[in-house]
Amino acid sequence: MTMVDFIRQLRVDFARERLQRSDTPLVDIALSAGFPSQAYFSTTFKQETGLTPGKYRRTCRRGR
């Protein structure tokens, strides 16, 4: 794993936690995780998890 991949994974992991535990708007989560935009965040998150951030949040909420 390259350093860039490691940092990306840390950012996505941070975002996963926030998506599961809060109602914070996606744009705020994206920016607080270090992504330059919500669009880039959504694309990267989907590549890493297979789900969009919104769908990930809804899926986690159903499991509660």
pLDDT, tens only, 17-58: 999 999 999 999 999 999 999 999 999 999 999 999 999 999
pLDDT, tens only, 6-19: 999 999 999 999 99
Specify the pLDDT at position 64.
Answer: 61
Range of the domain at 10: 3-62
Contact criterion met (CB below 8 Å) for 59 and 49:
no
Q: Look at the chain and report how many structural domains it folds into.
A: 1
Q: Measured between alpha carbons, how far is 30 from 6 in angstroms, rounded to an integer?
A: 17
CATH number at residue 34: 1.10.10.60
Identify the band that residue 61 occupies on the pLDDT scale cut at 50, 70 and 90.
Answer: confident
Specify the pLDDT at position 50.
Answer: 97
Identify the band that residue 63 occupies on the pLDDT scale cut at 50, 70 and 90.
Answer: low
Residue with tokens 């989560």, as numbered in its chain? 29
